[in-house]
Structure 1
Amino acid sequence: MKYQISIEGGTAFTVAAEEDTLLRGALRAGMALPHECSVGGCGACRFDLVDGLMESVWPEAPGLSERDRKRGKYLACQSRPLGDCTIRVRCDESYRPAVRAHRSAAELLARRALTPDMSEFTFRVPGATEFRPGQYALLYLPRTPGARAYSMANLPNEEGIWKFVIRRVPGGSGSNALFDQVGIGESIVFDGPYGHAYLREDSPRDIVCIAGGSGLAPMLSVARGALADGGSRRVHFFYGARGQADLGALDALEKLAEDERLALSVVLSAPESTWKGPTGFVHEEVERNLTAPLGSYDFYFAGPPPMIEAIQALLMHKHQVPFGQIRFDRFV
């Protein structure tokens, strides 16, 4: 069974009755619905229900404010149609899926510790791996309500391998389930790829990748993609961490830095006295390090919300970098 979803004043698409959310169904139908985190945190996928019935999967999702709820707003990533519906939303071509997402079983092949609280997880999904560098997937984990979004760290491949760099969050049901309850050889439900903050390969500008914490994963993928295209663009890679214990995640970066087109900068915000490198916040090191006007680069960044906000202020307000040269996904 399929339900027809009509966009007021626009087009219509169909969603399978068994689809878990309106957003996932819309993206699988190739629709350009605005979205970012896909898990209820950011509020980018808000819409109005004009007609029909819609079930709220997570009524308390933080992506909706109390004012939004009083006005009858919904989140597409946390709403499931119960029949034919009409919605009011402004589509945006920049959100049209670059690769159609699919749902499948993913087998955990390997888990490798990078730092005391961060590991690389390697999954295998049937068929070739198709995504754009910088995108993410949704993982459905044991005894964890809803999905968790994690970005890929590798590149597309024919072997069906998807790699993620994931930090264990204290009290986080999703990350703790992944670390403690999914054994090697076991399978979970996988859904992806998603996200629009992926590498644009047609730009002539040099690239700046800024990563904080487990935001390392999508930035690794973007850097790998940029270097793999064989062009002349340089990649300036900035990694921000708290202390030396976090530097175990840098093995892959140091290998990438063997390519003369990549320049690596590591900055620690709370280092021990033995640290001789830059200190402070990573966005400050970006401003200190880059010699050309910031508007001459393409920026990709991922990390905790305070870092994202600081980089946005630096690029958009202080240096007036055009928005079309700034790529990031919000996860809150």
Structure 2
Amino acid sequence: MRTTRCLNRILRRGLLMIPLLLAGCASAGAGEPRAWIDMPHDGAEVEVGREIAVLSHVYAREGVAQVELSINGTAYRREPPGEPGAAFGSISQAWTPESAGDFTLGVVAYDAGGRVSRMASVRVRAVMATTITVMPTFTPTPTSTPTPTISPTPPPFRVNIWADRLDLQPGQCTTLHWEIDQATAVTLDGSSVAAYGSRQVCPAVSTMYRFHITGPGGGIDRELLITVAGPSDTTPPAISGVTPSATLIYVPNCQPNTAVISANVSDASGVARVELSYRVLEGSRQGVWRTLTMSPAGGSRYQATLDWTALDSSLHPPVTTGATIQYLIRAQDVGGNAVQSSTFTITYEECII
């Protein structure tokens, strides 16, 4: 904590003060490398197919040698900062989301001695680009101009979650740590915790620890997997209770015009990912398969929503007669075992009012 506050002073006071302030950080025990993600902010939306710049600051008392950007836990690119070997620096790393969904961007710094920092991470949502056609309309001259009410944008969360050890042998323990700014409430596996804290855990099997963070702008979820060595897990998750909120939907103007697909997904070693894959079929026209990440909906329930934008991304131009939506659910556990459900259908009709 003392190290973090010291390095934050460096960012506020500018690069001219770096030599003096870094000396102060060193005396405060800032030996290990550190990394911060400045942009994009946690919870930001980015456009599928458009390159974004991941801007980070890094620090290492022995000099920063490399900075690694990972996507959903997989290394994406690794390169030196702008001034290799400097104790403090910044870097811009490009990434282009190729599909819609939620992505966790992680950054770690390596010093000249090979030591690695804790991972700084943010979660972003990639969405399909939409085109809005504005039709000309007649606007009468107002008799008075009301004063608009401007609501301030809530500041983004700053989330740092890590563990002393991620891989354990049976009977061993580790300590979870978290530092969360701009939160009004934080829960760990459903129990309220302070925004800054730690907890020792001794899992008997590989376990996913789940944080839910609430603030003025809404809520986000974060997960941390602790792996316990043992017999190889070869059993995939179980999928049951696949249910649509409607079996006939209309687009774009009649009701219901969306379908919420939900299912129960469970696994003894922990569920890592649940996805909804779908496509639209109209006569001889076959849409492309698209995938949405399904979100936890309480207990073992997961859900995702199919709306006009999602369906149009599968088959365009839109349907003009009766069509069918095919969908299925894929799930994967923390051991990498995957399973796929049967294929289900929803009837899809155009509605013109």
- Please state which structure has a larger fraction of its residues in helix: 1
- Please state which structure has a larger fraction of its residues in strand: 2
Q: Could you say which structure has the larger radius of gyration?
A: 2
TM-score clears 0.5: no
Pairwise TM-score range, normalised by the shorter structure: under 0.3
Normalization by structure 2: what TM-score? 0.26
Normalization by structure 1: what TM-score? 0.27
